[in-house]
């Protein structure tokens, strides 16, 4: 019989949520998965799943309105030489076990389909002899189920919880790699094409020096190549993380304490490396010549979580805690999500590198008048009494940003405040240049990039240095369109 904890029952003709189905079909069409050539990441996913679960058949299928398309498959020849399923690579949706995975967006296990009333008379059982089935959803970043990754057997079989977990992990890995590839392709397509070189005479002497345009083109080629090579690192890194995750769960046997310790080191280091690689790819997408903003409604709290999540492993390794707080009230702002996320990421990264163990890095997001404020500062439990005035509350810290001790009294004018903050930035640069280990240099580079991105958003980055460390305040104006940026900058 089926495992009731993981099996979803229901007739194959169960009605769909039509509105959700329309959005799902739109997401499938926009993904391009039905039109693309074979993708190595999905071929590897099906082969890996079949091998580790010891299943004779593994399929990765996509489901449109009426049919399931078997884009990637292993072992279909076991169903008979030149069978219809192997040649056509499609199945009516009403006959596909995957339809239930799509409808419920959950894993489905069938231990013995021949005795299950919902499945025993279906095409897969009666014509192809399928007895056991385990399918997991292929979910995109928006949560829509585009298809399933499934293993099947010709004899009854009970799938273990470890096998279900493994297949779910392989499906998540495959989709995340595919979507990362799509983002990279879009970023490379958006890059300006290099001009074709002018034909030159064979007798013409070479120019004495490369013109500025040629130097620029050479730099662009190097940048493109670095982006491509960096992207090539993501697949093996993701595979390392996936396999170490499987080993950590002891799916294939118990581990010694020393083995667990080493696996934790490998996994955390892999997470950190993958986060760095992803940020390099994000930097490659920035175009200095294009100042247009991709504005969209953004939840400020979710944006903060997305910026900090890749840094959790690094902070944990250094014994540092990241704390995000958001002031109650209106949290939806019109922002360029990628640019603001990079500001928070690089400033927080620099603070992690320069903070002592056991420190707490605070990120507080609030609304002040018609501006969005994002304040970052570091505190240490041992110095809590000494920092009480600075960090007793985020609001006090904002008000006292231009005050050396953050007491917020006798605040200077905005122009004087900017002069003070600019001089503080110069002090940070000087500290970075004198650092033997270069830790501060990375912090300043992130700070300068963040300032540049804030200005492109019509806002500014303010910095305060004191004996207790550095504090950052990002202020962004409320925008209703990209046209507001130039007005905000001019004012």
Average pLDDT of 110-137?
93
241's tokens: 């993380």
Q: What is the pLDDT of residues 126-164, one digit of tens each?
A: 999 999 999 999 998 888 899 999 999 999 999 998 899
Q: What distance in Å separates the CA atoms of residue 291 and residue 286, rounded to the nearest whole number?
A: 10
In a domain, 75, yes or no: yes
Question: In this prediction, what percent of the chain has a pLDDT beyond 70?
Answer: 69
Strands (E) located in 104-234: 108-110, 132-139, 145-153
Strands (E) located in 75-214: 90-92, 108-110, 132-139, 145-153
Boundary residue ending a domain (161, 193, 221): 161
**pLDDT, position 28:** 92
Q: What distance in Å separates the CA atoms of residue 402 and residue 411, rounded to the nearest whole number?
A: 7
In a domain, 374, yes or no: yes
Q: What is the pLDDT of residues 228-271, one digit of tens each?
A: 676 667 667 777 777 787 788 787 778 888 888 888 878 877 87
In a domain, 316, yes or no: yes
Question: In this prediction, what percent of the chain has a pLDDT beyond 90?
Answer: 25
In a domain, 252, yes or no: no
CB 138 within 8 A of CB 29: no
In a domain, 257, yes or no: no
Q: In Å, what is the CA distance from 142 to each residue of 45, 179, 314, 450? A: 21, 11, 27, 28
Whether the predicted pLDDT of 355 surpasses 90: no
Look at residue 8 and give its three-state secondary structure: coil
Q: What is the CATH number of the domain that holds 152?
A: 3.30.450.40
Pairing of strands 321-326, 360-368: parallel
Q: What distance in Å separates the CA atoms of residue 88 and residue 75, rounded to the nearest whole number?
A: 15
In a domain, 167, yes or no: no
If one counts every other C-beta atom within 10 angstroms of the C-beta of residue 488, the result is 18
More confident residue, 151 or 282: 151
Q: What is the CATH number of the domain that holds 450?
A: 3.30.565.10
Average pLDDT of 60-64?
94
Whether residues 323 and 466 fall in one domain? yes
In a domain, 61, yes or no: yes
Look at residue 371 and give its three-state secondary structure: strand
Q: What is the pLDDT of residues 189-210, one digit of tens each?
A: 555 544 444 444 444 455 555 5
320's tokens: 């540092």
Q: What distance in Å separates the CA atoms of residue 231 and residue 224, rounded to the nearest whole number?
A: 11
Query: Looking at the 3D structure of the chain, how many domains does it have?
Result: 2
Residue 359 structural domain: 296-490
pLDDT tier at 97, thresholds 50, 70, 90: very high
CB 350 within 8 A of CB 442: yes
**pLDDT, position 132:** 95
Whether the predicted pLDDT of 42 surpasses 60: yes
Boundary residue ending a domain (129, 161, 193): 161
**pLDDT, position 367:** 87
Average pLDDT of 370-389?
69
Boundary residue ending a domain (161, 184, 206): 161
Q: Which of 123, 233, 240, 168 shows the shortest CA–CA distance to 6?
A: 168
In a domain, 458, yes or no: yes
Q: pTM score, two decimals? A: 0.49
Q: What is the pLDDT of residues 210-221, one digit of tens each?
A: 555 555 566 667
Sequence-distant (6+) residues with CB within 8 A of 331 are: 299, 300, 301
Pairing of strands 469-477, 145-153: unpaired
**pLDDT, position 291:** 61
pLDDT tier at 68, thresholds 50, 70, 90: very high
Residue reference for tokens 């009731």: 4
**pLDDT, position 425:** 46
Q: What is the pLDDT of residues 453-475, one digit of tens each?
A: 898 888 999 988 766 678 899 99
pLDDT tier at 436, thresholds 50, 70, 90: very low
């Amino acid at each position: 019989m089926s495992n009731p904890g993981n099996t979803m029952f229901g007739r194959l003709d169960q009605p769909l949520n039509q509105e959700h189905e329309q959005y799902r079909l739109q997401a499938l069409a926009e993904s391009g998965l039905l039109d693309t050539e074979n993708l190595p990441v999905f071929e590897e996913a099906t082969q890996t799943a079949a091998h580790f679960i010891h299943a004779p058949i593994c399929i990765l299928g996509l489901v449109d309105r009426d049919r399931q398309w078997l884009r990637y498959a292993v072992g279909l020849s076991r169903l008979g030489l030149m069978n219809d399923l192997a040649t056509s690579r499609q199945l009516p949706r009403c006959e596909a076990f995957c339809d239930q995975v799509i409808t419920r967006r959950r894993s489905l296990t069938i231990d013995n389909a021949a005795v299950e009333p919902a499945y025993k008379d279906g095409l897969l059982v009666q014509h192809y002899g399928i007895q056991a089935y385990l399918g997991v959803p292929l979910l995109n970043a928006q949560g829509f189920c585009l298809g399933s990754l499934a293993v099947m057997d010709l004899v009854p079989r009970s799938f273990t919880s470890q096998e279900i977990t493994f297949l779910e992990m392989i499906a998540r890995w495959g989709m995340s790699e595919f979507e990362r590839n799509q983002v990279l392709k879009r970023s490379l397509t958006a890059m300006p094409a290099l001009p074709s070189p002018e034909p030159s005479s064979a007798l013409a002497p070479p120019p004495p020096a490369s013109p500025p345009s040629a130097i620029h083109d050479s730099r662009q080629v190097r940048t493109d190549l670095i982006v491509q090579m960096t992207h090539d690192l993501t697949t093996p890194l993701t595979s390392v993380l996936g396999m170490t995750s499987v080993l950590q769960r002891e799916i294939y046997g118990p581990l010694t304490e020393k083995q667990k310790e080493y696996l934790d080191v490998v996994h955390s280091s892999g997470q950190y490396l993958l986060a760095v690689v992803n940020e390099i790819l994000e930097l490659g997408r920035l175009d200095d010549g294009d100042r247009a903003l991709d504005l969209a409604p953004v939840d400020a709290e979710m944006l903060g979580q997305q910026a900090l999540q890749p840094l959790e492993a690094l902070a944990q390794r250094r014994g540092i805690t990241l704390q995000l707080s958001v002031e109650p009230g209106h949290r939806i702002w019109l922002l360029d999500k990628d640019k603001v996320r990079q500001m928070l990421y690089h400033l927080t990264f620099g603070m992690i590198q320069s903070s002592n163990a056991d420190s707490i890095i605070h990120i507080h997001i609030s609304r002040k008048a018609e501006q969005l404020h994002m304040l970052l500062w570091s505190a240490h439990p041992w110095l809590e009494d000494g920092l009480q005035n600075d960090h007793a509350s985020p609001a006090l810290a904002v008000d006292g940003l231009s005050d050396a001790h953050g007491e917020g009294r006798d605040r200077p004018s905005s122009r004087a405040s900017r002069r003070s903050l600019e001089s503080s930035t110069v002090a940070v640069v000087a500290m970075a240049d004198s650092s033997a280990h270069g830790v501060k240099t990375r912090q300043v580079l992130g700070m300068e990039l963040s300032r540049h991105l804030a200005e492109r958003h019509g806002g500014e980055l303010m910095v305060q240095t004191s004996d207790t460390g550095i504090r950052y305040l990002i202020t962004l104006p409320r925008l209703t369109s990209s046209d507001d940026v130039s007005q905000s900058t001019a004012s």
